[in-house]
Structure 1
Amino acid sequence: MRVLPLCLLALSLTGCSLLHKPYKPVEPFKQTTQTEPARTKPAPRPVPVKLYTDAGDLVSKPFRDLGEVYGEDCQNSAQSSPPNINTARRRMQTRASSMKANAVLLHQCEIVSNAQGCYRQAVCQGSALKVSNQ
């Protein structure tokens, strides 16, 4: 009875080694003698997103609401640089741009103390909008 578990163990260990894998030689490292650095395409810049602070500015313009967006700037400790509301606004506009919005209606910006993971935090909230040019 002791032989059966040993045979099964030996069979299971050798079973994986029996899989056929074709041998592929590794190419040696080739040094390039390029004097000019390789050029890569720069990352695409986000589309500019207009910031509306008053809903009255949108009354005569047709628009579609794409959803809520937010931006934040965190101060990690009391010795770190303070949170910046302008940075939080810019991050909110960047998130709106990734949603294919061309405008943001700002709801509120505030600085919150003792936020989770931050000593102080600047937070901005708004609605991402797609405003038509008519």
Structure 2
Amino acid sequence: MRALPICLLALMLSGCSLLSRSPVEPAQSSAVTPKPEPVKPKVIRPAPVRIITDAQDLVGKPFRDLGEVTGESCQASNQDSPPNIPTARKRMQINAAKKAKANAVLLHSCEVTSGTPGCYRQAICVGSALDVSAK
């Protein structure tokens, strides 16, 4: 029984001696020189595409129709979150931004439909991508 405390004391002292260095040993630098961060290229984002809900806002302004764009939000099953019209509008804006020089979308309609293949319910927005000249 006397041997147990002596063995524990010897074990603790030997374990602690591994953590400390004697002053005779040369200290090795454990600091790692930081690697320079790679330069990330700047992401060029297209100008935001604004949504025009009233065609009267285009009267007297020169614009070019670049084609129809859509955006959708899908509810895959009854247990999923419902389709979201603001998400569908945002996706329509993103799709319009992908078209050359589109800086606006004339919103035609947003609606929630059922029976779309792959979706329990779906919110879909349809509009025309436009290049509105600022003159």
Normalised to the residue count of structure 2, the TM-score between the two structures is: 0.69
Q: Is the 8 A contact 1:71 1:123 kept in 2?
A: yes
Counterpart code for 1:103: A
Name the structure 2 match of 1:47.
47
Counterpart code for 1:68: E
Note the C-alpha offset of 1:95.
0.8
Deviations 1:78-117 (A, max 9, x none): 1111111011011111111110200000000000112110
Structure 2: stretches of 5+ with no match in the other structure: 1-32
Calculate the aligned-residue CA RMSD, in Å. 1.6
Structure 1: stretches of 5+ with no match in the other structure: 1-32
Aligned length: 102
Deviations 1:51-83 (A, max 9, x none): 000000100211000000000010111111111
Name the structure 2 match of 1:119.
120
Distance 1:114 1:37, change over 3 A: farther
Q: Is the 8 A contact 1:88 1:123 kept in 2?
A: yes
Q: Is the 8 A contact 1:69 1:127 kept in 2?
A: yes
3-state DSSP of counterpart to 1:77: coil
State the alpha-carbon separation in 2 of the partners of residues 50 and 118 from structure 1: 28
State the alpha-carbon separation in 2 of the partners of residues 120 and 130 from structure 1: 32
* Pairing of 1:56-71 with structure 2 (within 5 A): 56-71=56-71
State the alpha-carbon separation in 2 of the partners of residues 46 and 74 from structure 1: 26
Note the C-alpha offset of 1:50.
1.0
State the alpha-carbon separation in 1 of the partners of residues 121 and 129 from structure 2: 25
Deviations 1:1-55 (A, max 9, x none): xxxxxxxxxxxxxxxxxxxxxxxxxxxxxxxx85565453354334200100000
Distance 1:122 1:59, change over 3 A: same
3-state DSSP of counterpart to 1:74: strand
Q: Is the 8 A contact 1:63 1:131 kept in 2?
A: yes
Residue 130 (1) aligns with residue 126 (2): no
State the alpha-carbon separation in 2 of the partners of residues 69 and 119 from structure 1: 22
